[in-house]
Structure 1
Amino acid sequence: MTMDGAVWKHRNPLVHTRKALEEGQLTVGFIGGSITDARPRHNWPEPVIAWIVEQYPQARIVVENAAIGATGSELAVFRAKRDLIDRGCQLVFIDYAVNDSGEPTDKRQRTREGLVRKLLEDGSRDIVFTHTFMQSMYAAMSEDGVPDTIAELETLADHYGIGSIWMGLHALEEVRKGRMRWEEWLPDGLHPTHRGSLSYAQSIVAFLEKELYNQHNQRLHPEVKPPNFQDSLQQQQLPEPLHPHHWGDAELLPLTEVRTEGPWVLRRWPFYEWIDQVLETAAVGAKLAFSFEGRGLSLGFDFGKTSSEFRYRIDGGDWVATSRERPDWCGDDGWYRDNFLGDELPAGKHKFELEVIHGDRAECRGTNFRLAHIGVIR
C-alpha cells in the first residue's frame, strides 16, 4: 500500500462542509484527548483552523473544540449533544485512536459506534477520523502494520463512509525522511511539540484540499457548487449498526432525579468548562439513589486526588466498592473522569444505590464526591 493510501482515506464527500462554506458559515468541531485539546494553544487543530480561515475569507468560521485530555469515546458519547450537536457543528474531527487504546476491543467499539451514530443521526454534519500516535504503536507501524485500535476505527469508517487521516503515520514518515527529528515530534512519546502538531495539521490540510476542490481544481467559493450537490445531501442514510450493543441510544439522566440522604448540594460548577452542574458532598456515608431504564450506567465525575471513593449496588445486589487510580499527573480535581459500571443488565427498569466512602488508601487524600453526569446505556 502506498503512503497516500494508508494516510488518507476519502470515502464520502464532505457535503455538509461544502454546503456550509457555500452559505457563508462553517462550524468546525473537534473531540478527542490531550493531543487535540485546545488549551495548550499549539495543538494540531490550530493550524488547521488557520488554513480554513485563510482559504475561505468569505465565510465565518466557528470553532467548537470539545477535546479533553485523559478522556475517551465513552465520555464523548454523553458529551456529543451538548458540546457538538447543539452547537451546530457541520464538520467534526474525532481523535480516539490513542485514548481508547487501553479499553477492551468490544467496549471501545460499542462506545465509538455510539458516538458516530449520534453525530450522524440527524444527517446534518460530516465527521472525519484522525488517528494520532503513541509509543506502543511503533512496533506494529515499523513493520508496516496497523495497530488494533486504528484498524478497528477503520472498520467503522468503511461501514459508515467516514473519511480518515492517519496523522501518526504521516508524522512518522516525516521522521523517516529526515524532515523532522523525533524529539521535535514527540519528546515524551505521546504529546507533540509545535513542530509535531504542525505535521499532524499538514496531513489534515492535504485531506481538506482534496475534499474541498472540485474536479476543475477550483476552490469551493459560494458561486462554485460541487456536482450533484443536493443529490449527495439527500442520499445520506444511517446504515445498520455493526455492533448490536452500540451506545447510540445512550442518554443522560438529569441530576435533579437523584434522591439523596445526608449533606448534598446540587450546584453550578464554575471550575471546569465542560461540566454544567455537580451533585456534591464531602461527607463519608452520604447516600444517593435513582431509578433508570436501560441496560447499564456510566457515571461522570470531576475527579482528582482529593476525591472520595464510593460503593454501589444495582437492584439490591451485592455492594461493589470502587478503587480508582490516581496517576502522578492527576491534580486534586479537574479531571472529567468516567466510571463504567457495566452495560449487560436486562433491559428495563433498575434501581441504583450509592454510598460515599473514603477509600482507605494513602493516595485517597480527600472525600470530595462531585457527580457531573449520569449516563444511561439503553
Structure 2
Amino acid sequence: MELEVFKYRRDLKRTIEAIKREKLTIGFIGGSITDSRGRNRWPEPVTAWFVDKFPNVKIIIENAAIGGTGSELGVFRVKRDIIERNCDLIFVEFAVNDNDLPKEKTMRTREGLLRKLLASGKSDLVLTYTFCMEMYEEMINSKVPSTINEFEILANHYDISSVWMGLYALDEVMRGLIRMEEWVPDGLHPDLRGSYSYGQSIIKFLEKKLVTKAKISMSNLEYIIPRSYNENNWEKSYLLPLSKVKLKGPWTIRRCTTIQWMDQILDTSVSGAELSFLFNGRGLVLGFDFGKKSADFEYLLDDGEWVKIRWDCPDWCGNYGWYRVLYIGDDFDNIEHKFELKVINSSRGTNFRLAMIGVVL
C-alpha cells in the first residue's frame, strides 16, 4: 500500500473568506511538537508563509499547544483556548501524544474535541500527524500506525482534510535530503530542520487549497455535523468551577503563575488536607500543575475503595509546570456522584495544585 501525505477533503472556505476580509486568525492545538514557547516548531514557518503570501492581511496566531498533553485535556480546554478566540483555520495535532493509549478512550476524546470545534461553525479544520520512533517500522513497511489510522476514521466521517507531516519528513530522510538526527534528534521532537520540513508539508497543502486551487463556490458555508461515530464521545464535557469544591485544612484558591493555560488552582502543601465535590455525569478527569515537588494523594468515588496515586516523575520534568491529567473514568452511571480526595505524604514533595475538574456527560 502506498501511503499518502495529503488527504484533501473539504475546501477551506472560511479561511478564504477571512483572507478576503483581510483579517485571518489561525489556531493550533496539540502537544510539544506544536508548542510555540520556543518559537522553533512547525507553526513558525507556516505563519511566516501566511505573512509573506498575504501581506495585506492581518494575521493573528492563537497557538494553544501544550507539551505533554493529548486530546484528553484538549477536549476540556478547546472552548477557552481556541473556540472563543474566533479562529478561521485550526490545525489539530494529537496523534503522537495520544499514541499507546486505549483506542476506545482516544476515539471518544478526539471525536468530542472535533465535534466541539465543528459545532462552533466558525472554522476550517486540518488534522496534522507528526512522528515518534514507535511508528518507524510500520511506516517504512508502508503501514499506517494505529493512532493515525484512528484519526483518519474520524477525518473521513467528518470530511476533514489531513496532512501526514511525519510521512513527508520520513520521505525526505529516505531520499537523503535530511538526516534522521536533523529531523528528530531524540526520536520525537523535531529540530529546526525537522520543524521546517513539517512546515513545508503544510505549506504545500495550503498552496493547493488556497493559492493554486480553481475557483470554488462560496455560496454556502453551512456545515451539517454528521451523526456521532462513537455515541460515547466527549462532546458533552464541561468544567466544574473550583468554587464548587469543599475544602478541609489549609487551602487557597489562587491565580496560577506557572502555566498560562490555567486560570486558578486549588493549592496546599499540607499532608492530610482534604477536598470533596459533587458532580453530575458519567466521567471525571482532573488536571494538575505537576512537577518533581508534587505531593501524592488518594481519592474515593462514591462508595468505592480509596485509590492511592503515587506519580511517576520523568527526568525531563521540572519542579512544576507540567499540565498533567488524571483520568478517573468515563463509564459511570450518568447520575450525581461524590468525589473525595486527601493529600498524603510523598518522599518527592508536598505541593498539591489542582487546576481542572473535567466532567463528561
The verdict on a shared fold, with TM-score over 0.5 as the criterion, is yes
Q: Cα distance, 1:58 vs. partner?
A: 1.4
- Structure 2 stretches of 5 or more lacking a match? none
Question: What is the rounded CA distance, in whole Å, between the counterparts of 1:27 and 1:338 in structure 2?
Answer: 29
Deviation at 1:316, TM superposition (A): 2.8
Q: Is the 8 A contact 2:83 2:120 kept in 1?
A: no
User: 2:249: which partner in 1?
Assistant: 262
Query: Residues 2 and 142 of structure 2 are in contact (CA less than 8 Å); yes or no, is this contact kept in structure 1?
Result: no
2:9 — aligned with what?
Answer: 11
What are the superposed Cα offsets for residues 27-82 of structure 1, whole Å, 9 maximum, x if unpaired? 11111111111112111000000001111111111001111111111010111011
Given candidates 316, 333, 336, the residue that maps to 1:346 is 333
Q: 1:191 aligns with which of 180, 189, 192?
A: 189
Matches within 5 A, 1:142-161: 142-161=140-159
User: What TM-score, normalized to structure 1?
Assistant: 0.93
Match of 2:320 in 1: 333
Count of equivalent residues? 361
* 1:248-278: CA deviation from partner (whole Å, max 9, x where unpaired): 1110000001010000000011222111100
Distance 1:118 1:310 in 2: 32
Match of residue 39 from structure 1: 37
SS in 2 for 1:184: helix
Q: Name the amino acid aligned to 1:229.
A: M
Letter matched to residue 350 of structure 2: T
Q: Is 2:239 the counterpart of 1:252?
A: yes
Q: In structure 1, which of residues 69, 73, 77 is the aligned counterpart of residue 75 of structure 2? A: 77
| Deviation of the 1:241 alpha carbon | 0.8
Letter of the 2:216 partner, please give it.
Answer: P
In structure 1, C-alpha distance between the alignment counterparts of 2:134 and 2:216, rounded to whole Å: 43
> Which residue number in structure 2 is paired with residue 369 of structure 1?
352
| Distance across 1 between alignment mates of 2:39 and 2:225 | 35
CA contact (8 A) 1:123 1:237 kept: no
Who is 1:227 aligned against?
216
Matched, 1:313 2:300: yes
Letter in 2 for 1:45: P
Counterpart contact for 1:35–1:43, Cα < 8 Å: yes
One-letter identity of the residue aligned with 1:308: A
Q: Which runs of 4+ in 1 moved over 4 A?
A: none
Cα distance in 1, alignment partners of residues 344 and 125 from structure 2: 41
State the distance in 2 between where 1:114 and 1:352 align.
Answer: 24
Evaluate the alpha carbon distance shift between residue 80 and residue 215 of structure 1 in structure 2; reply closer, same or farther with a 3 A threshold.
closer
What is the root-mean-square deviation of aligned Cα atoms in Å? Answer: 1.1
Instruction: Trace 1:55-70 onto structure 2 (pairs within 5 A).
Output: 55-70=53-68
- Identity among equivalent positions (%) equals 53
The answer on whether the counterparts of 1:292 and 1:349 sit within 8 Å (CA) in structure 2 is yes
C-alpha distance after superposition, 1:74-109 (max 9, x if no partner)? 010111011101111111111111100021111111
| Contact kept in structure 2, 1:44 and 1:197, CA below 8 Å | yes
Is the contact between residue 259 and residue 288 of structure 1 (CA under 8 Å) also seen in structure 2? yes
In 2, the alpha carbon distance for the partners of 1:2 and 1:230 equals 36
Query: What SS does the corresponding residue of 1:118 show, helix, strand or coil?
Result: helix
Cα shift at 1:211: 0.8
Which residue matches 1:219?
none
Give CA-to-partner distance per residue, 1:177-221, whole Å, 9 cap, x none: 1111111111111111111111100000000111113644xxxxx
